[in-house]
Chain A
């Protein structure tokens, strides 16, 4: 596999290309979770949302022939699951973390159930833009085939960053997350704000799922997502609820996750499973380094149950 012309450069190049490909679902889920958590609620169910998004995107793309319709369907599915989460959480004395776990199991089960007939057929996949046209080296061209969704995600991050700071909606979400009393005193319904924030978060997470089934790896099967959703939720915590940091963290994660396949492509196959676990180990390591038992995390929304 190793091309003589670039030799060992294959590994960093594959990690770079992989980082861009693998990071996209992390990016969308973490941006979505960022919106939800800023409003003062945590949705652990995004793992299930991701899988449901992947399944519905694949199904709709297969039935309609249009992958973009699939992306839209994934987003809507995610928003509906988000509405379900927010709806149950708005009942008194219901724990949002537990509801998230329930929806994680529910989403996964429902996706496997409905997705059973989709394992065989091939759906239309999302196109990629060839940024590597200038190069003759096939590995470079492969690494630079970048999907539009990645670019959209990269664009959403600064927009969110700006929106949280300056727009009315951003301010409302942050108020609900910092002090629900303050939001209520201003005459806004906290439940209503959180419902919308959770739906928006689910929408983005669903789109992240569509990337999995429609671009990379690019098929539907039951092993498609294994913990990307939950990793992305953890990622928001050490990105300090900052959308721009979510972007950089997602890229770092994508790179870590791409290391296993990259090493495999140059013939290093031992420890394949351990390298595949790299993102989880990295998450855990970063959480160990950045968390502290003595103080609450800087930037954490005060209403968030996970930091209290």
Chain B
């Protein structure tokens, strides 16, 4: 959608290298990179001031953040491992956003997906690992998918606000998980930390050869690409974007809005459920309360920072995975509390939303000097 730069009358050559055509074609894209980038830098600056108030050197902060996120091969692997579930939980917010829905319940779908995947793996211990893994993927997707479909159906058939219902479902999902993990599904030998039995080392999905990064990253990247193709290169995706732009117009041209909402919500929840399955099958090996690590909530931020674009989600998820990966180093070297990552995420979120006001207002991108 080139809205600002498309006007040929306004487009004037800014520099000989760029030319009018360049800004005309890429002005909006540049804007989509420049403005969130500036918001990110602003947020980092404010966070630097914040830690300076506590007597830490902001330059040390930035150095250790870089070191902990992208400084070494080890930190890169840590970052990518954290990015994998973030890509998937971000899709849980970004896909419904195409329809104009604000779903923030990715955490709940992740938990339910993990729980379904674990249950199915524990139910078929005799099956060969590949069968178990494929069944776990299906169970995770279906579990998480149905969870968010519930929020979508409530919106469609009862007019219940999907933002609130999806968040309430997070707490309900967590209660169900705790109930089962401390009840019927509890491994009697897990004393301090109630957990289910382990799914078994043979059924774990393992790492990408040559790295410590698990296969979940590939799952995430594939899901993001698939979502991109679905939204921007299929009739279904086009219908979804029409309905998101103007629901009345969509109804007039005969689009099945209800079907669109339910399908998109299922895919969105399925992505988050897959994240839960991956956390079980690649990291934890079992289901317990550790799974509620906040990936679902960080995913909301990733989706907004990526402006709900499935492809942009991949680099943004790596960036925020890096921020959370650097948390450990910040704790050890600077003595910052582990919640400092949360504070930074909150500041980034606030800046990114406030920067929405800037779109279409940067003079030189419109070709004016």
Is A224 among interface residues, defined by CB-CB distance under 8 A? Answer: no
| Given A93-B357, A97-B102, A116-B337: A103 and B350 interface contact (C-beta under 8 Å) | yes
Q: Which residues of B contact A288 (CB under 8 A)?
A: 154, 158, 160
Nearest B residue to A231 via CB reads: B168
Interface check A26, CB cutoff 8 A: no
Q: Is A135 an interface residue (CB 8 A)?
A: no
Query: In the bound complex, do residue B102 and residue A291 qualify as a contact, i.e. CB atoms below 8 Å apart?
Result: no
A1-9, A105-113, A126-134, A154-162: which lies at the B interface? Answer: A105-113
Chain A residues within 8 Å of B102, by CB: 95, 97-98, 101
A287 within 8 A of B: yes
Interface residues of B in 306-349 (CB under 8 A from A): 337, 339-347, 349
Tell me whether A74 is interfacial, beta carbon within 8 Å: no
Mask, B265-302, CB within 8 Å of A = 1, is 00000000000000000000000000000000100110
- 8 Å CB contact of A227 from B165, B171, B359: B171
A94 an interface residue at 8 Å Cβ cutoff?
yes
Q: Does A63 contact B (CB under 8 A)?
A: no
Residues from chain A with Cβ under 8 Å of B159 in the complex: 291-294
Complex Cα gap A153–B157 (Å): 36
A109 contacts B342, CB within 8 Å? yes
Given contacts A273-B175, A292-B158, contact A101 B104 (CB under 8 A): yes
Q: At the interface, yes or no: A99 with Cβ under 8 Å from chain B?
A: yes
Taking A88-B354, A292-B159 as contacts, is the C-beta distance between A280 and B168 under 8 angstroms?
Answer: yes
Smallest CB gap from A296: residue in B: B159
In the complex where A44-B163, A274-B179 touch, is A102 in contact with B168 (Cβ < 8 A)? no
B304 part of interface (Cβ distance < 8 Å): yes
CB distance from B35 to the nearest CB of A (A): 12
Q: Are B165 and A94 in contact (CB under 8 A)?
A: no
Q: Is residue B123 contacting chain A, with contact meaning CB distance below 8 A?
A: no
Q: Which residues of B contact A266 (CB under 8 A)?
A: none
In the assembly, what is the distance between CA of A298 and CA of B269, in Å?
Answer: 32
Residue pair B350, A110 in contact (C-beta under 8 Å): no
Q: A92 contacts which chain B residues (CB < 8 A)?
A: 357
B168 touches A91 (CB 8 A): no
Across the interface, name the chain B residue whose C-beta is closest to A88: B354
- What residues of chain B lie closer than 8 Å to A15, measured between beta carbons? none
Q: Which residue of B lies closest to A292 (CB)?
A: B159
Give the residues in chain A near B354, CB-CB below 8 Å: 88, 91, 94
Give the residue name and chain of the B residue nearest to A109 (CB).
B342
Given A94-B356, A293-B157, A283-B168 contact (CB < 8 Å):
yes
Assess the B179–A230 pair: CB atoms within 8 A.
no
Q: Are A233 and B171 in contact (CB under 8 A)?
A: no
Question: Are A105 and B349 neighbours in the complex by a CB distance under 8 Å?
Answer: yes
Complex formed: what's the CA distance from A49 to B167 in Å?
A: 17
Partner of A106, one of B168, B170, B350, B357: B350
Q: CA of A293 to CA of B171 in the docked complex: distance in angstroms?
A: 25
CA distance A237 to B160 in the complex (A): 10
Best-buried of A95, A101, A230, A233 by chain B (most CB within 10 Å): A101
Whether B167 and A112, one on each chain, are in contact in the complex, defined by CB atoms closer than 8 angstroms, is no
Best-buried of B104, B182, B183 by chain A (most CB within 10 Å)? B104
Q: Which residue of A lies closest to B170 (CB)?
A: A227
Chain B residues within 8 Å of A276, by CB: 175
By beta carbon, the residue of chain B nearest A283 is B168
**Please, which residue of chain B has its CB at the minimum distance from the CB of A87?**
B354
Q: Is B178 an interface residue, CB under 8 A from the partner?
A: yes
The distance from the CB of A303 to the nearest CB of chain B, in whole angstroms, is 16
Quick check: B168 and A234 within 8 Å, CB to CB? Answer: yes
- Assuming the contacts A227-B167, A230-B168, asked whether A93 and B359 have C-beta atoms less than 8 A apart, the reply is yes
Also in contact, A112 and B337, with CB within 8 A (given A88-B353, A230-B164, A293-B156): yes
* Given A44-B163, A97-B163, A116-B337: A110 in contact with B175 (beta carbons within 8 A): no
Considering the complex, give the chain A residue whose CB is closest to the CB of B178. A273
Judged by a CB distance under 8 angstroms, whether A182 is at the interface is no
Which of B183, B350, B353 makes the CB contact (< 8 A) with A270? B183
In the bound complex, do residue B157 and residue A99 qualify as a contact, i.e. CB atoms below 8 Å apart? Answer: no
Given A112-B339, A113-B339: A102 in contact with B158 (beta carbons within 8 A): no
B45 interfacial contact with A, CB 8 Å: no
Within 8 A of B (CB), among A62-107: 84, 88, 91-95, 97-99, 101-103, 105-107
Q: Is A277 an interface residue (CB 8 A)?
A: yes
Q: Is A271 an interface residue (CB 8 A)?
A: yes
B164 touches A102 (CB 8 A): no
Residue of B nearest to A90 (CB): B357
Q: Is A148 an interface residue (CB 8 A)?
A: no
Other-chain contact of A95, B297, B339, B347, B353 (Cβ < 8 Å): B353
> Per-residue CB proximity of A109-124 to B under 8 Å, as 1/0?
1101100100000000
Q: A112 vs B167: C-alpha distance in the bound complex, in angstroms? A: 20
Q: List 5 A-B contacts (CB under 8 A).
A: A101-B163, A101-B300, A227-B171, A280-B175, A284-B172
Known contacts A94-B357, A280-B168, then 12 further A-B pairs from the complex at CB < 8 Å, ordered by chain A residue: A88-B350, A101-B349, A105-B301, A107-B346, A109-B340, A113-B337, A113-B339, A273-B175, A280-B171, A280-B172, A284-B165, A287-B154
Give the A-binding residues of B (Cβ under 8 A). Answer: 102, 104, 154, 156-161, 163-165, 167-172, 174-176, 178-179, 182-183, 297, 300-301, 304, 337, 339-347, 349-350, 352-354, 356-357, 359
The list of the 5 closest CB pairs from A to B, nearest first, reads A106-B346, A109-B342, A277-B175, A112-B339, A102-B349
